[in-house]
């Protein structure tokens, strides 16, 4: 399989038959997956933090790192490949795990998930499916042919979204 691997803060798109996009060990990060079933085009971003306003220079060099800049960049990259805007796009989310924190300062995953959902809504999208939260790290792959998302985590059987 022709698989694109994304690091932290990367995003990528593909319409290659038989291809995939994969990212490892999300932790509190969120994988935002966009898919166009008609044009068989997939995109993914590995988002680490909710808001780019904390470091604009970083957002310029790695837009996928922050939820706000990741969504606009990913939608734009998808549009270039599909020749269309947001119509017909399906969104899925995975990741956003948290450490057990009684007070919530370290609930980074929850803040990421909330930010991505909020921004998706503002772009007129809502996630079709999400596998988020919990206390474990996920590895995620999207299949370009089907839009099917496969998740894995050490000590568990793989599952699908």
Partner 1 sequence: MLQDLVNKIREIPPLSASAMRLMRHAGDEDFGPDRYAAVVEQDPALTMNVLRAANAPALGIRGEVTSVRRAVALLGARTVLGIALGTSCPVVFNKALAGYEAGRGDLWKSSLFTAAAARALSERCKTKLAPDTAFTAGILHDIGKAVIAEFLADRTTALVGAVSNFEEASFSDAERALLGADHAEAGYVLGKKWGLPESLLAAIRHHHQPALADISHRPLVYCVHLADITAMSAGFGTGADALRYRLDTGYKNLFDLDETALADVILTAQMEFERLAEPLAGE
Contacts (CB under 8 A) with partner 1, residues 136-155? 136-137, 154-155
- Tokens matching residue 80: 């270039």
Tokens at residue 73, please?
A: 């960049």
**Can you name the residues that pair with 49 across neighbouring β-strands?**
66
9 binds partner 1 (CB under 8 A): yes
Please state, in angstroms and as integers, the Cα–Cα distance from residue 23 to each residue in 55, 95, 100, following that order.
Answer: 24, 11, 24
Q: Where does this chain touch partner 1 (CB under 8 A) — which range of 33-41, 76-84, 95-103, 141-149?
A: 95-103
Which of residues 86, 106, 114, 148 is near partner 1 by CB under 8 A?
106
Contact (CB, 8 A) for 35 and 90: yes
Q: Which of 38, 83, 87, 103 binds partner 1 (CB under 8 A)?
A: 103
109 binds partner 1 (CB under 8 A): yes
Piece of the chain touching partner 1 by CB under 8 A; list 12-20, 72-80, 82-90, 102-110: 102-110
For the bound state, the minimum distance from the C-beta of residue 49 to partner 1, rounded and expressed in Å, comes to: 5
| Active site annotation includes 139 | no
Identify the bridge partners of residue 5 per DSSP, sorted by sequence position: 22
Site for partner 1 in 40-79 (CB under 8 A): 48-51, 54-55, 58, 65
Are 19 and 144 in contact by the 8 Å Cβ rule? The answer is yes
Determine the Cα–Cα distance for residues 79 and 107; give it in Å rounded to an integer.
33
Residue 8 to residue 64: CA distance in whole angstroms: 8
Catalytic residue among 13, 21, 26, 29: 29
Strand partners, 150: 141, 160
Q: Which residues bind partner 1 (CB under 8 A)?
A: 8-9, 24-29, 48-51, 54-55, 58, 65, 97-103, 105-106, 108-109, 111, 135-137, 154-156
Q: Which residues are catalytically annotated?
A: 29
């Amino acid at each position: 399989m022709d698989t694109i691997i994304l690091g932290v803060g990367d995003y990528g798109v593909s319409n290659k038959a038989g291809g995939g996009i994969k990212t490892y060990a999300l932790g509190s990060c969120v994988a935002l997956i966009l898919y166009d079933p008609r044009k068989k085009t997939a995109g993914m971003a590995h988002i680490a933090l909710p808001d780019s306003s904390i470091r604009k220079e970083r957002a310029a060099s790695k837009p996928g790192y922050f939820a706000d800049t990741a969504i606009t960049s990913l939608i734009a990259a998808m549009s270039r490949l599909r020749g269309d805007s947001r119509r017909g796009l399906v969104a899925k989310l995975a990741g956003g795990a948290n450490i057990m924190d009684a007070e919530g300062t370290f609930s980074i995953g929850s803040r990421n998930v909330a930010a991505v959902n909020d921004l998706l809504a503002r772009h007129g999208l809502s996630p079709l499916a999400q596998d988020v939260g919990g206390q474990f790290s996920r590895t995620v792959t999207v299949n370009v042919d089907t839009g099917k998302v496969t998740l894995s985590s050490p000590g568990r059987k793989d599952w699908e979204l």
